[in-house]
């Protein structure tokens, strides 16, 4: 291709532009993003940003000069309205058409809106971008009460940040435990204990019914009639993929834009990467929508290699991390086809790992303050080699020895 257009200047979009230049692509690159900021990392937004220990310089992937120096036509504050597949062009809001030989869709995902009465009140917030993070940080005044709707990773991380900032934090969760969609029961229990030790209150099996207040929110109303007085609400109820452009252009979509192992959509000239893509996971013989930085980076590398015909792509083990208080949580693989679990170490010590197994093969690992368990666990998942379960359970045997 001579002209590559990237829609979405987030983590995946920014990374693919850089990877293309690194792989020697000398043609035209246009990177179009709705937000007014150069591509940046979102993970700090629920952590260091709220603590006030991060700044724009810390979170941006590359300084603005990099785009000029590398001849990347960066169009910020610009929304792509539609894709004309016949003309091979993207159409901007003002009607301008930008032609492409290859198009990369990296439009990410947006927070799920609950559709509840009062959701538009001042102080009912969500967290996806820098503007959201700044609004949340400003509203996090010591002594105030924040209610978090959803005990997923965003809710848990913001609860930890809110406690650090001196707010009272209450988490409302529909399920019976925290992070139920992604974490094992052992992990959920550990996280709940840790958060309770930091005076976070959990309300499980509870659905929000609406938000009360005249202009600003003053309370969350639960379906069972309970009313939680508060000054601030963060809705962290998952995300939905920004796949409307692809759907309207007739590309095959499921839970996001369906792509193959090379991140190619049902149109061979169009690729989709990052949170918006519904991608194959060769390791688990399934199709999945991953929401993580490592996934965005892996797919960005993959597309750059495909478009420049450089080194072939080797599938990676998916992974993810989360920081809460002083906890370093690292997850590798997915427990999709695991049949048993093994806990290495004692959760009471704040340092342990849950291995998800199929027979004596590791399929995924959840590690808390246990980097070797994470690192070697990831290797074991990739290799698919059987392990001695007795040795894996014995913390006197190092992970390095277990992995031999």
Please give the residues from 43 up to 72 whose contact with ligand FAD meets the rule CB under 6 A.
43, 45-46
Rounded to the nearest whole angstrom, what is the least distance from the CB of residue 367 to ligand FAD in the complex? 14
**Cα gap 270→287, rounded to integer Å:** 18
Task: Mark residue 80 as left, alpha or beta (left: phi above 0; alpha: psi -120 to 50; beta: remaining).
Answer: beta
Binding of ligand FAD at residue 127 (CB under 6 A)? yes
Question: Should residue 168 be labelled a site residue for ligand FAD when binding is judged by CB under 6 A?
Answer: no
φ, ψ at 131 (rounded to 5°): -60, -40
Q: How far is the CB of 241 from ligand FAD (least distance, A)?
A: 9
Task: Pick from 6, 18, 83, 106 the residue near ligand FAD by CB under 6 A.
Answer: 106
Using CA atoms, how far apart are residues 366 and 381, in angstroms rounded to an integer? 12
Q: Find the binder of ligand FAD among 243, 291, 298, 316 (CB under 6 A).
A: 291
Could you tell me which stretch among 41-49, 191-199, 307-315, 349-357 binds ligand FAD (CB under 6 A)? 41-49
Q: What are the beta bridge partners of residue 203?
A: 172
Q: Tell me how far, at minimum, the Cβ of 235 lies from ligand FAD, in Å.
A: 12
CA atoms within 13 A on the CB side of 350: 9
Measured from the CB atom, the residue of 127 and 232 that comes closer to ligand FAD is: 127
CA 363 to chain centre: 20
Interface with ligand FAD in residues 10-39 (CB under 6 A): 10-13, 32-35
Q: Using the structure block, give the residue that is written with the tokens 């965005």.
A: 296
Whole-number minimum distance, CB 131 to ligand FAD, in Å?
A: 10
Judge contact between 77 and 52, C-beta under 8 A: no
Q: Which residue has the tokens 């978090």?
A: 148
Q: Positive or negative, the Cα torsion across 297, 302, 303, 308? A: positive
Our finding on whether 42 is near ligand FAD (CB under 6 A) is: yes
Q: Does 289 bind ligand FAD (CB under 6 A)?
A: no
Interacting residues with ligand FAD (CB under 6 A):
7-13, 32-35, 42-43, 45-46, 79-80, 106-108, 127-128, 154, 242, 245, 274-276, 291-294, 296, 320-322
């Amino acid at each position: 291709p001579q002209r590559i257009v990237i829609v979405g200047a987030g983590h995946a979009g920014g990374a693919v532009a850089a990877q293309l230049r690194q792989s020697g692509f000398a043609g035209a690159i246009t990177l179009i993003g709705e937000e007014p900021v150069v591509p940046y990392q979102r993970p700090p937004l629920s952590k260091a940003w709220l603590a006030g220990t991060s700044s724009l310089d810390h979170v941006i992937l590359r300084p603005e000069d990099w785009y000029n120096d590398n001849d990347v036509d960066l169009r910020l504050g610009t929304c792509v309205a539609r894709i004309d597949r016949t003309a091979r062009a993207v159409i901007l809001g003002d009607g301008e058409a930008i032609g492409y030989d290859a198009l990369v869709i990296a439009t990410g995902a947006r927070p799920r809106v609950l559709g509840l009465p009062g959701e538009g009140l001042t102080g009912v917030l969500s967290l996806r971008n820098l503007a959201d993070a700044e609004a949340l940080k400003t509203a996090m005044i010591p002594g105030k009460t924040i209610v978090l709707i959803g005990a997923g990773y965003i809710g848990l991380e913001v609860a930890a940040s809110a406690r650090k900032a001196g707010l009272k934090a209450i988490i409302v969760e529909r399920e019976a435990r925290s992070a139920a969609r992604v974490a094992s029961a052992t992990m959920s229990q550990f996280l709940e204990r840790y958060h309770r030790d930091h005076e976070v209150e959990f309300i499980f099996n509870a659905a929000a019914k609406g938000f009360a207040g005249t202009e600003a929110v003053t309370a969350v109303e639960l379906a069972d009639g309970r009313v939680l007085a508060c000054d601030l609400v963060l809705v962290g109820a998952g995300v939905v993929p920004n796949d409307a452009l692809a759907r309207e252009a007739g590309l095959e979509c499921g839970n996001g834009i369906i792509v193959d192992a090379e991140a190619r959509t049902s149109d061979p000239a169009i690729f989709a990467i990052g949170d918006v893509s519904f991608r194959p996971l060769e390791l688990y013989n399934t199709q999945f929508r991953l929401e993580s930085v490592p996934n965005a980076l892996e797919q960005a590398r993959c597309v750059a290699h495909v478009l420049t015909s450089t080194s072939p792509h080797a599938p990676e083990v998916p992974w993810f991390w989360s920081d809460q208080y002083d906890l370093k949580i690292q997850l590798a693989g997915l427990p999709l086809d695991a049949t048993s679990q093994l806990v290495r170490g004692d959760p009471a010590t704040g340092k342990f790992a849950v291995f998800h197994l199929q027979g004596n093969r590791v399929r995924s690992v959840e590690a808390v303050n246990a980097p070797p368990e994470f690192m070697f666990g990831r290797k074991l998942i990739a290799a698919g080699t059987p392990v001695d379960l007795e040795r894996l359970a014995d913390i006197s045997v190092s992970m390095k020895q277990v992995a031999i």
